[in-house]
Structure 1
């Protein structure tokens, strides 16, 4: 089900892999011994985001279209010097409606880029702000307040709409051991991308069931100077599920112009506590391999399998339950997650970096995903997922994307990104038929 999903494209290892953690990535936490001071290490950055959204829903469903302008301001302080460093991270977001006719803003069929008024139609503007206190000792960091956790595969939020999702709670991260990063978190509320209420709920996104808290712990380990890295996490969405995750990642340069990356992801989800979504017994895995050649071309082949009578589900946020980004499986793409009960899916993707042909900053991508053997007929009527899927459902999606980042001059780092998706499904698949176009212009500005 599309569910206004994030579908953020995370490019790992320069090989166009989706949601793949990069081996030897930067450590979660830097050393307090390197602290320069609260002000001396502070930064203030703006992101001006201009966003055109056009989702053409087929089979008689209302279309969704709007054009918006966002301003994202993020202040990051340094840490005070000494054994214990203290700092503050803060943000302020503003969203403006440039064009959003009511005929393209039917409640339940909106883009997720604007908040909605009491009549269900988009507001002319909205704003939200928040902050988190941070305390660092050695290479261990504790944060409390409003934030955007993005590294945990069982609880991550993202920012692929006009303004990002934020959540409130506690987060502990540690990088005391070389190549080993650990983290844990407790979160109790969330603000979706198109709401301003800081006390919004956390959800099982597809089940549409609220939860009062999300707890998780885990980490990643790069095996020294080898091409291997692994990650292990566990999370509990209170009274809904326990979810466990394992990742094995291999990336290796074969020559100056060739490289190989292999990424395996596995999720195990079972019902927990009061089991508000009903019985859950789900195993989900994906495996993909990307081969880069001639320093410009990458071919990626991926396979994904959902084992169980329920779909693979993940955490949503806000009182309107917008799905987050904790869906680190290979075939979660622009429109669909390919995560139906019993579903198998294959992906073929091609990435082209035009820097090798004299156009630095220009990248192109196309991919095709085919999902089949979806069967939702074995669910109990007491399940929150009951009735969502039929028997022997199938669907497929094609994506085309182009992105250009200006390399120099006054508009340096301004990016223009065009994304197009075509999705088609059999009658009983909840994702339905849709064509979706997005044009996103991002202009980052470093104030200091």
Structure 2
């Protein structure tokens, strides 16, 4: 079905475009099939409340077609994204709490699920307008790609590089489709049960020097919040294989519309200053990354103000159970916890090594530890939590299976604010270029 829809889209394009314009449209086209075999295990170590354990295995396929542009003052094109997921192993008791596979009417994992996303695009000079299915990676919105299939959004985005060293971005997002869902939903902040269909954003990335980048973004989720982001990234190179990167981030988030009034359905979860679910948050984060050869050491600190938890788009409280799963533009957004609770102060460190320095290209490993305290909850304050994560990745460098990647993620979290958890993710990925 997915292939038929894409073929129909291309056939329509062949009718509406003509001659040399269509030839250029095709000559720059690219298509790949990406496959991801994903095993997910999340074990709640304390208590018997549901879910106690989520344990599932799935196969994901992603057909990604990107056309070229027609000739002329304005170039036109179309992209297509076909997603297919197949359940390899699951059971009703182990599917509870799943954020990877959709559920059927009996709350069991479906056998398979699929969706198709089309994106029209227009290019003028160094400016590109896209409307349709988007997978944004912006400080104010990051699409989650932590399961067999990615989260996607629907809306419009314009990106311009007309000015030297300055990239301008803006747009409106209207719907989201969760990584474990086939259905579009509206938008929300975590805890909100009422949908918004308007997430507007603008932003700029300015490369002030070859080593310094400054960022500013503004986002507005109707009836939930306004958010401003300020970022500064600097890299100091000591030699060809030695550098120090400084990454500073600051978010200012305030309530908007119905959330400002604490209206039922628009309230966020967790602690809020007046207990009314109103958003009021300031967050700053500083990280230093020292690199020497294959070694990389990260040390950082993050502080969340006490008005409410840090907030970005999260549809996890909406009726669609597969809508959950979100990413935050934070160093502390990890396998299990995000360390973004009201009042939380977090210290974190990571050691990573690229074994290419030892003559083993493709092999990378890292271990990270985070410790948070001063957490405010509705039941009290000054709670603590910690998490330890291990990442191991290897990609084959030669032979018939060159490019096949293997990954293992292991996380352990102990928290006074939520249940203790152990998590494992194991995946195999491979991408095949079609043309």
Return the TM-score normalized by structure 1.
0.85
Counterpart in the other structure of 2:296: 298
Of 415, 425, 428 in structure 2, the residue corresponding to residue 438 of structure 1 is 425
Cα RMSD (Å) = 1.6
Counterpart in the other structure of 2:326: 324
- How far 1:185 sits from its partner (Å)? 1.1
Of 215, 224, 227 in structure 2, the residue corresponding to residue 231 of structure 1 is 215
Q: In 2, distance between residues paired with 1:118 and 1:345?
A: 41
- Give yes or no for the alignment of 1:311 onto 2:321: no
Counterpart in the other structure of 1:29: none
- How far 1:209 sits from its partner (Å)? 5.0
**Per-residue CA shift, 1:175-226, capped at 9, x if unaligned?**
111211111111111111111113x12110255553221111012111133x
Counterpart in the other structure of 2:198: 213
Counterpart in the other structure of 1:15: none
Of 141, 162, 167 in structure 1, the residue corresponding to residue 153 of structure 2 is 167
- SS state of the match for residue 357, structure 2? helix
Of 149, 162, 167 in structure 1, the residue corresponding to residue 136 of structure 2 is 149
Counterpart in the other structure of 1:126: 113
**Per-residue CA shift, 1:415-436, capped at 9, x if unaligned?**
101000000012xx03x20000
Counterpart in the other structure of 1:66: 56
- Give yes or no for the alignment of 1:248 onto 2:250: no
Q: In 1, distance between residues paired with 2:220 and 2:107?
A: 33
**Per-residue CA shift, 1:327-352, capped at 9, x if unaligned?**
22222211111011100000010000
Q: In 1, distance between residues paired with 2:326 and 2:301?
A: 22
- SS state of the match for residue 274, structure 1? helix
Counterpart in the other structure of 1:283: 282
Counterpart in the other structure of 1:4: none
- How far 1:308 sits from its partner (Å)? 2.5
Of 79, 84, 88 in structure 2, the residue corresponding to residue 94 of structure 1 is 84
Q: In 2, distance between residues paired with 1:155 and 1:185?
A: 11
* Count of residues paired in the alignment: 392
Q: In 1, distance between residues paired with 2:193 and 2:236?
A: 41
User: Is the Cα contact below 8 Å between 1:205 and 1:323 reproduced in 2?
Assistant: no
User: Is the Cα contact below 8 Å between 1:213 and 1:237 reproduced in 2?
Assistant: yes
User: Is the Cα contact below 8 Å between 1:155 and 1:216 reproduced in 2?
Assistant: no
User: Is the Cα contact below 8 Å between 1:174 and 1:183 reproduced in 2?
Assistant: yes
Q: In 2, distance between residues paired with 1:399 and 1:279?
A: 32
> Could you tell which deviates more after superposition, 208-217 or 63-72?
208-217
**Per-residue CA shift, 1:126-162, capped at 9, x if unaligned?**
1110101000100111111122122x21122132211
Counterpart in the other structure of 1:177: 163
Q: In 2, distance between residues paired with 1:224 and 1:302?
A: 24
Counterpart in the other structure of 2:337: 336
Q: In 2, distance between residues paired with 1:261 and 1:210?
A: 39
- SS state of the match for residue 355, structure 1? helix
User: Is the Cα contact below 8 Å between 1:285 and 1:329 reproduced in 2?
Assistant: no
User: Is the Cα contact below 8 Å between 2:34 and 2:430 reproduced in 1?
Assistant: yes
**Per-residue CA shift, 1:378-412, capped at 9, x if unaligned?**
xxxxxxxxx4x632110000001100011122211
Counterpart in the other structure of 2:249: 265
**Per-residue CA shift, 1:345-373, capped at 9, x if unaligned?**
00010000100111100000001000000
Counterpart in the other structure of 1:447: 434
Counterpart in the other structure of 2:6: none
**C-alpha distance 268-208 of structure 1, shift in aligned 2 (>3 A):** farther
Q: In 2, distance between residues paired with 1:281 and 1:418?
A: 37
Q: In 1, distance between residues paired with 2:342 and 2:134?
A: 32
> Could you tell which deviates more after superposition, 118-127 or 208-217?
208-217
- How far 1:36 sits from its partner (Å)? 8.3
Q: In 2, distance between residues paired with 1:125 and 1:364?
A: 33
Q: In 1, distance between residues paired with 2:350 and 2:36?
A: 27
**C-alpha distance 299-207 of structure 1, shift in aligned 2 (>3 A):** farther
Q: In 2, distance between residues paired with 1:120 and 1:339?
A: 30
- SS state of the match for residue 182, structure 1? strand
User: Is the Cα contact below 8 Å between 2:166 and 2:206 reproduced in 1?
Assistant: yes
Of 19, 23, 33 in structure 2, the residue corresponding to residue 46 of structure 1 is 33
| More RCO (CA 8 Å, sep 6+) | 1
Return the TM-score normalized by structure 2.
0.87
Structure with the higher helix share, 1 or 2:
2
User: Is the Cα contact below 8 Å between 2:226 and 2:253 reproduced in 1?
Assistant: yes
